[in-house]
Structure 1
Amino acid sequence: MHLVTVATCQLRQWALDFTGNCERILASIAIAKARGATLRVGPELEVPGYGCLDHFLEGDIILHSWEVLGQILQSPDAQGIVCDIGMPITHKNSNYNCRVIIYNGKIVLIRPKMWMANDGNYRELRHFTPWDKHRQTEKHSLPGIIRKITGQTHVPFGDAVVTTEDTVIGVETCEELFTPNSPHIAMGLDGVEIFTNSSASHHELRKLNRRVELIKEATMKLGGIYLYANQQGCDGDRLYYDGASLIALNGQILARGSQFSLNEVEVVTATIDLEAVRAHRTGSSRRMQAAQTEPFERYYVDTRLDGGQGLRIGEEETKAPGKVDIVYHTPEEEIALGPACWLWDYLRRSKTQGYFVPLSGGIDSCATAVIVHSMCRLVAKAAAEGNKQVIADARRMTGEPEDSAYLPTDAKEFCNRIFHTCYMGTQNSSAETRKRAKDLAEAIGAYHVDLNMDTAVAAVTGIFSMFTGKTPQFKVHGGSNAENLALQNIQARLRMVIGYTFAQLLPWARGKVGGLLVLGSANVDESLRGYLTKYDCSSADVNPIGGISKTDLKRFIAYAQKEFDLPILASFLDAVPSAELIPLGEGTTVQSDEVEMGMTYDELSVFGRLRKVEKCGPFSMFGKLVQEWGTFLSPTEIADKVKHFWFTHAINRHKMTTLTPSVHMESYSPEDNRFDMRPFLYPSRFDHQFAKIDALAAALPNRATQPGSDKAKVD
């Protein structure tokens, strides 16, 4: 057996936090060494933090990254171990996203990223140049601060591999794993046995399996050891990086880090037999392809990853590690954990004292509150396990001295200290929603306020009446559509004003200091449809559910009812979604969200995925839905639904420019900041597109009325 111990890690890095990032990097190296590892891999751009965005265009970022690397090179912890460090580097006046391979105070190789992530949430080509000189290196002139430390003036920069006395190491960076022609293929055929991949891969519902399967498939075909490192937590933006670092061998996962945790540093190690890689690569077709592969430049490190012990046979401690069965969280669990971890990072790093949410008695604000409850449960669990950082952060935000004995091990008690809710009712609110809000707050431990705001609403309408001599009326009382909408929006926007007032003053009223962050509670479907008032209580500091569909939120609440032992949640699931902004007249029913929108939440999810993920305009969306829905809806019915969606989406698109920053969770999010790059002023009637839809709908047969169709069976 030829055993090597390797380490990969996930770090809770923070954009521009050079001091904290350096401390976490050094801590991970120390842990790796303590476990006997001779190779350590860290996340992508771990020195400055991945989410610096346009700060990457500043020279300061490059300077400070070199300063941090200088500290690492001189640290005793970084001696005797090969380390793969991520940072930006300027080479010939172009910025590159780089991996820096160091050993014993020297830089062995700087390997720039070749394939950039440049869609969805990523804009790497805005900040970095891809290295397109494959299998080539150039000399990179080191800055003076590094020359004094390493004694080197120049180091190789480019696409090459690192060889030790006993193996060969190749480097990939994040997106390069996901490209059709990944670098590990050519490197593996040229004899690379250990692959490192440093990532900043964000969490998205139902996504982790893709990452894992790619790594398994790569090493199954090619053979080899694959070390995947990832960032974890919120680093200052809308993304939650979900860790799940792993080590794979020949298509099997040997070790994996947590996907959702509050740990600052997590290191994953495994001891692996290099002979297993070599045995896996004995196939004749692999040997034929390897013989034809162009070689990579190799840069030598005078060490052995086996620690200098060479071939070891028969030792008791050298048993090969067994494979790890990857357990994937359900979407409901992902909703409970991902946004909760993100909220904790945002709360502690913003140095505020807690969260505030307008609790309406509906399922959206309920889901927001339950996610905060889940956050408190995670804090209590981490505190019970002795997590020093979590305990210190909890003491600060609750006003407890650093050296106090307070431990936030009771989730409900901790929730009462940092989470505040408020029911802001009007004459149009029901007793049922008021009671649901109060009962939920009590069940999770939140500090709850129950108030009526009719006086504030009357004051605003009174001002308008005073200066115009006209008093607007609801439609049920004979008012126009304009009056009806304006009166609803007055209530909605006043809730934002009152909410921020209470968020700023509630801690003071309770004898505490500081302020609260306001949480929004508009789901991704309502944002897509524009079914919200601009600058109402959906306008907040952050929104934990803004990237989650209504359908998934309902499933999450059903899960939380059982998992968190919250029977009160059943009443939220049974309630009809309603804004409760208009009075009920004689013969009228409760204001239903789906009726007012003209479509169901399930239909909205379908429209959203077709629009964003499958890149459909109105005409192609109609074509796809005729195939999917044609057995129970006629072509003209489908056409009406498609045109209604596109019209309402278009006239409300401007609202997406003001959406509260949300945790990114869903692939069809309409978030305008950088994920969904589309106009906000549309020709909302889509004359040309809708005419083509109508013409095709008229020409197509109606399958919904044919014998054997779903609609015919129902009828």
Structure 2
Amino acid sequence: MYGFVKLAAAVPSVRVADCYYNKEQILKQIQLADQEGAQVIGFPELCITGYTCADLFFQTTLLESAKKALGEIAKATRKMEMLIVLGLPLMIEDELYNCAAVLLKGKVLGVVPKSYIPNYNEFYEKRWFALGTDLGIGEMTLLGEKVPVGTDLLFECGELKVGVEICEDVWTPIPPSSLLTLAGANVIVNLSASNEIIAKRNYRRQLISQQSARTLCAYLYVSAGAEESTTDLVFSGHSLIAENGAIIKENEKLIDTDYVLVADIDLERLQKDRIKGKSYGDSRKLFMPEVRRIEGETLSYRGTFKGRIARKPFVPHAAETRDKRCEDIFSLQVAGLKKRLSHTGSKRAIIGISGGLDSTLALLVAVQVFDDLGWDRKGVVGVTMPGFGTTDRTYENALQLMRELGITMREIPIAAACKQHFSDIGHDENVHDITYENTQARERTKILMNIANQGGGMVVGTGDLSELALGWCTYNGDHMSMYAVNTSVPKTLVRSLVYTISKRQSEKVKDTLLDVLDTPVSPELLPVGKNGEMLQKTEDTVGPYELHDFFLYYLLRFGFSPSKIYFLAKTAFAVKEEEIDELYSHETILKWLKVFYRRFFSQQFKRSCLPDGPKIGSICLSPRGDWRMPSDACSSLWLSEIEELSE
């Protein structure tokens, strides 16, 4: 399943000190998780006895009942393909330890004692439990079998490698999970009994998110439920499943119990981040711990895929988050151009204004730069260059934007110059081929460059990341500029940026920006229709940018194979969402996936000589940092895989 693993956090109903009742509730939760296809399940700390037993932990009856309940759970789950992590107290070498028992198919694979024992404020655990780090043996007898015991255990089931820590362990300066992940653990299970107080839930969420990000792992945190509440303490049953900093799943109620959370996490995604992030490997060399690797059989993926795959991975789904992200990105673009202009001493920014999305965003950036520097907006020179395919709609929008924003306006039609050029090179102007189109793009770039030379200005590039990925730009045409503000902004994000920035504009500018957003994407290089309508639409030729941006994200960010990207795309575009009506058949996705890979490989030479531009996210195609690819690399392996998917 392309590296996906299904994790479950289970908070059962509990009766403090009633091991048999708790056993039945645990088995009920295991059964539910098994029906969902969970491969790893974690339960709260000391879940077999209950966390709040206090001095009852000294009672032989309780301790023996806990072991017996563990044995019955093991027996009842011997036919399940599931790694089960349970909490219980265990006597080892005449001391009592707060432990996690790890079960697989009816056997205890190992026992992990709690490393750090809290003994402050409301916690008195040292009254009952010894430090797991002080344990002097590596093996114990449990349920009649010799079982590995210690804080150094790593449970390996194929590519799945699970480390275990308990509650307080993750609150320490150097949690056991930090060392276990350096040893290769890609999933950490934390059995916890964290009582609830005001603001602790948010702190706990940040703690788990940060630990999963710092260790590049999936982190399953499961805490004791509301039925543990007694005397002075209230427990909430707060559970989280995080993956490299992102909270994938979390229970919704503040006070909760008797539930199972199931989520899919991506081991390959984590692996790719570890490969790319060289600091992870460097840390392993310095701090690689000695661990004992406990082998279990590979667990097969079962059940329905639970992952939520965003259709627009570059664009946050929530409107509030999206606006904040767009404001931040816009600020980065502004800062980049501001530095270039101030460094070169140039107070003129030259931009080709087409009335399309990309040039509109570049114009908004330039205007903001001049405002921030206290320069007259007239230093921004907008040049509209109508050609054979320019429609009245884009032409009027270009003029309206320049007029309302108060910049210097210039209009230089290019038709006559292009016809002269056709005559010079012997090209029939009635043949609307690539020469016909690119002549116009290069003529526009020549005009912009020469206007910049006239006034000591700089040409601000407008092309975006998606166009660069597809090579949908004219070499030495719109491909070239003196500083490219949109170079790492994908097309789907350009649209959101323009919409967000429109909210701070005057009503007239905002209305024009909204019409630009509503205009189909087109280079407008082919003649218009009889009634002046736009006939050339980019997405009809190269495919939907929504799909291409999706492909691009998973290709560059994680290096996924075409088959995995295809699976993710099928999942993402399987159902309608509130803001997106367009769905794509599997055949359509495959068609454009093939186009994407073919164009991505063949057009690298254009990316090898990109102008400077600000990096704004994790995906960038600059050859000076983020993407170094041979211009003549062969795409046959990737295209062959896509062909196999078509069969």
Report the TM range for the smaller structure's normalisation: 0.3 to 0.5
TM-score by length of 2: 0.47
TM-score by length of 1: 0.43
